[in-house]
Amino acid sequence: MDSQNTYWTDRALLEWQVELGVTDAILDTPVDRYALETVKPAPNAATPEKPVVAPEVVKAPDVDAAALARTAAQTAADLDALSGAMQAFDHCELKKGARSFVFSDGNPAARVMIVGEAPGREEDRAGRPFVGRAGQLLDRMLEAIQMGRAADNAAQAVYITNVLPWRPPSNRTPDASEIAMMLPFLERHIALADPEIVVLMGNTPCQALLGRTGITRMRGEWVDVLGKPCLPMFHPAYLLRNPIAKREAWADLLSLKARLRG
Ligand code: URA
């Protein structure tokens, strides 16, 4: 095949993959970057008498990442310090693949704190939570009850964060170890922001903070989280895929509004 043909074939293949929804370029096989970094250089080059010996891989010692996260989180005295401690935390693999660290948005003095799952592509680009399509729907939902992340007064404002501050590859659902590792930071985040009410968007924050999932059954039922009233709701991304569920989401928003009126 001449180079012109190869170009058009490669281009067609690439376009086909983009149409299928591929967003990130990765290799055919995973690369263990720990191994790459820690492979000791062979003492001597191979010779006919002395064949190459398999390189010795030095394994990183096992660390209790959740315990390290807990210590780091506890020492953070305010939100800036917490953000710094999270950015300095190197034990979550997601950090290596993410473009941005996404901490929070909105008014930290808000009466309501919303917890989502993790940044997606748009959030990873912008460095802010909930700015993509799901985020825009969230903004419209909040507007419908006269609230929003841009409001200055604590009564109408919301404060928004996620269970994870780094985008999982291809927006996959965070796994249990990632959630457990980052949970101490989330708990500290809630303690420092000290909202009156916590809203959990979807299954991932329910798994993290309530230890269970099943948002279809859990949504709309007030529970207690870290000593605060907490409302699980459908995630706006779910509402985009299942517009029929907006009816329940509206009921939950009204329940939130009523609770705020006290
Ligand atoms: N979905 C989330 O859960 N959080 C975001 O920040 C964006 C999309």
Query: Is the pLDDT reported for residue 128 higher than 90?
Result: yes
pLDDT in tens, 189-230: 999 999 999 999 999 999 999 999 999 999 999 999 999 999
pLDDT recorded at residue 49? 61
Q: Assign residue 50 a region (left: φ > 0; alpha: ψ between -120 and 50; beta: otherwise).
A: beta
The more confident residue out of 219 and 7 is 219
257, 250, 228: which is closest to 155 by C-alpha? Answer: 257
pLDDT recorded at residue 216? 98
By most ligand atoms within 8 Å of CB, the mutation choice from 105, 123, 160, 178 for ligand 1 is 123
Cα 160 to averaged position of ligand 1 atoms, centre (Å)? 10
% of the chain exceeding 70 in pLDDT = 82
* Least confidently predicted of 4-8, 20-24, 66-70, 131-135: 20-24
Q: Cα(164)–Cα(181) distance, rounded to whole angstroms? A: 10
Instruction: From the CA of 128, give the closest atom in ligand 1.
Output: 6
Q: In which band, very low, low, confident or very high, does the pLDDT at 242 lie, cut at 50, 70 and 90?
A: very high
Most confident of 2-6, 27-31, 205-209: 205-209
Q: Cα(89)–Cα(98) distance, rounded to whole angstroms? A: 14
pLDDT recorded at residue 1? 56
Residues lining ligand 1, CB < 6 A? 116-120, 123, 129-130, 132, 134-135, 162, 201, 237
By most ligand atoms within 8 Å of CB, the mutation choice from 162, 163, 164, 186 for ligand 1 is 162
* Least confidently predicted of 8-17, 29-38, 241-250: 29-38
Domains and CATH numbers, the chain: 65-261 (3.40.470.10)
Instruction: From the CA of 202, give the closest atom in ligand 1.
Output: 3
Q: In which band, very low, low, confident or very high, does the pLDDT at 81 lie, cut at 50, 70 and 90?
A: very high
pLDDT recorded at residue 8? 73
Query: Is the pLDDT reported for residue 59 higher than 70?
Result: no
pLDDT recorded at residue 6? 74
DSSP collapsed to 3 states, the chain: CCHHHHHHHHHHHHHHHHHHCCCCCCCCCCCCHHHHHHECCCCCCCCCCCCCCCCCECCCCCCCHHHHHHHHHHHCCCHHHHHHHHHCCCCCCHHHHCCCCCCCEECCCCCEEEEECCCCHHHHHHCCCCCCHHHHHHHHHHHHCCCECCCCCCCCEEEEEECCCCCCHHHCCCCHHHHHHHHHHHHHHHHHHCCCEEEEECHHHHHHHHCCCCHHHHCCCCEEECCEEEEEECCHHHHHHCHHHHHHHHHHHHHHHHHHHC
Average pLDDT over residues 126-131: 98
Q: How many alpha carbons fall within 13 Å on the CB side of residue 254?
A: 6
